[in-house]
Structure 1
Amino acid sequence: MFSTKGQSHTTWCGFIARGRSRRGTKGAGDGMLCEGGDSGPAMKILCISDQVEQVLHGPSLNSYARGVEAVISCGDLPFDYLEYIITFLGAPVYYVLGNHDPAPDGPEYPGGCVPLDGRVVEVGRGEEKVTFAGLSGSPLYSGGPNQYTEGQMGRRAWGLSARIRCRQLLGRPAPTVFVTHSPPLGLGDREDPAHVGFEPFLGLIDRHKPPLWLHGHVHLYGPDQQRVTSRGETKVLNVFGHRILEV
């Protein structure tokens, strides 16, 4: 573990996570911590979800998030918050929608930000790019916007998977990072109908084996709340509030 400017960093499984991290074991705290880090060039990304953070919504934004090259929103955030970050930080913002966000076909959208829902996007310059794939939404529990049944999300996941396969046939890279609002089933989810994970996401993990999966939706309060889980070689990270990572 090392620190700069008073912020704790932890290198874990090739990713450097900034925040209130501590050593732990799989299924507790911040998850399985691996020795060593990524020796190659890394992209610093700011991941946000579900809760407006004062440190990101005020004059300290630029100093706190210095060096961030992209912002990833996992949903359920005010659009003016995303617009504030893109305006004053200057890094591109990519987002999926949560169950408390407006419907994607409505008149409201975060100006200047790039939707990830159902898309595969390469972020970065030259050869140092990270490929993201995203899916919006939560389980259907109240009939609101951006809520899906298992069958509906299964079809959406299949469509995204087909898009990834087509890109690979054209020589494009597979996604390094998947971005969703809800977690995969059994990986950082809850048992209540609103916060249970999606089973089709497990199929995406098994087929495409991304190193990292980012989600929000499940609110975390207290240092002992589980933030990191895993399936195979894929680390699943709940970015509730915010995290700064190097990928």
Structure 2
Amino acid sequence: MVRVLAVADEVVESLTFGVGLDAKPDVILGAGDLPFDYLEVLSELCDAPCVFVPGNHDRDLHGYREGRGGWTRAGLPTSNPGPNGAVNADGRTVTVGGLRISGLGGSRRYNPGPNQYTDTQQRLRGWRLRCTAALTRGDARPDILLTHSPARGVGDADDACHRGFDCFHPLIRSLDPTLLVHGHVHPYGRSPRDRMVGEATISMNVVGYCEFDIEPGTREFEVVRRRHGA
């Protein structure tokens, strides 16, 4: 089993002191809209790699490239735009800590800000993600689809900002992950339940945090501890 700590949207200060964790996680997942230094602190504290996707309140990370000589944007040297040492899984599939993770950040477009997409734009990004996932490991399915927004009708809201993406449904049918891990929809004192999306995928809102165990390559997972919001 791989122990995962998934966080999103609201900073839980106690976690930065290791309070509230059942055991140190093997992997940190960031589902967006968190200070990058918060992800860095959790990764350093737990001595665990961090995989993240950007949310609609995060900075625009498009166009940055990491090479042997360091980070560049538009061919010019620059500094790391994201959390130091973390892996940006937006639009690609990575294997970290034994887990195969596909990522797709952002929310529905509701203003001119970064990391916002129409359903058509996100559908195209999802198609590219499926293509890259097939290239990296053939028909092997991801253990986790890490997103910022939920799928439409599965734990989302009706306002323009917090509506989920319709295009996530065919994406989930294609990728067939064990878990869809998302943030974006704040619980505001409620306890959002995990929901089925597709035939076998569980959608999990991790605003605040959720610590869970998952067996790579299987459908086996178990929630260990969670907190709905800060």
TM-score in terms of structure 2 length:
0.81
1:49 aligns with 2:22: no
What is the aligned partner in structure 2 of residue 100 from structure 1? 57
Give the C-alpha shift of residue 180 in structure 1: 0.1
Given that 2:108 and 2:161 are in contact with CA atoms closer than 8 Å, whether structure 1 keeps it comes out as: yes
Given that 2:49 and 2:96 are in contact with CA atoms closer than 8 Å, whether structure 1 keeps it comes out as: no
* 1:37-80 alpha-carbon deviations (Å, 9 max, x no partner): xxxxx10000000000022123x35x835331000000000011
Paired residue for 2:91, among 110, 115, 118?
118
- Give 1:86's aligned amino acid: S
Q: Does the residue aligned with 1:195 lie in a helix, a strand or coil?
A: coil
CA RMSD of aligned residues (A): 1.6
Q: Does the residue aligned with 1:188 lie in a helix, a strand or coil?
A: coil
What is the aligned partner in structure 1 of residue 228 from structure 2? none
Write the mapping of 1:115-154 to structure 2, written as runs, cut at 5 A: 115-124=88-97, 129-154=98-123
What is the aligned partner in structure 2 of residue 229 from structure 1? 195
- Distance in 2 (alpha carbons) for counterparts of 1:144 and 1:66: 37
Given that 1:177 and 1:213 are in contact with CA atoms closer than 8 Å, whether structure 2 keeps it comes out as: yes
- Distance in 2 (alpha carbons) for counterparts of 1:121 and 1:167: 8
- Distance in 2 (alpha carbons) for counterparts of 1:161 and 1:132: 12
- Distance in 1 (alpha carbons) for counterparts of 2:170 and 2:115: 21
Given that 2:24 and 2:46 are in contact with CA atoms closer than 8 Å, whether structure 1 keeps it comes out as: no
Q: Does the residue aligned with 2:42 lie in a helix, a strand or coil?
A: helix
- Give 1:76's aligned amino acid: D
Given that 1:46 and 1:65 are in contact with CA atoms closer than 8 Å, whether structure 2 keeps it comes out as: no
* 1:127-176 alpha-carbon deviations (Å, 9 max, x no partner): xx22110011000001101001111101100000111222343xx62201
Q: Percent identity, aligned pairs only? A: 37
Gaps of 5+ in 1: 1-41
Given that 2:90 and 2:105 are in contact with CA atoms closer than 8 Å, whether structure 1 keeps it comes out as: yes
What is the aligned partner in structure 2 of residue 81 from structure 1? 38
Cα pair distance change 1:135/1:66, threshold 3 Å: same
Given that 2:6 and 2:210 are in contact with CA atoms closer than 8 Å, whether structure 1 keeps it comes out as: yes
- Distance in 2 (alpha carbons) for counterparts of 1:210 and 1:181: 16
1:194 aligns with 2:124: no
Give the C-alpha shift of residue 246 in structure 1: 0.4
- Distance in 1 (alpha carbons) for counterparts of 2:29 and 2:133: 19
What is the aligned partner in structure 1 of residue 128 from structure 2? 159
Give the C-alpha shift of residue 242 in structure 1: 0.2
Aligned residues: 197
Give the C-alpha shift of residue 193 in structure 1: 0.6
What is the aligned partner in structure 1 of residue 227 from structure 2? none
Give the C-alpha shift of residue 210 in structure 1: 1.3
Given that 1:220 and 1:240 are in contact with CA atoms closer than 8 Å, whether structure 2 keeps it comes out as: yes
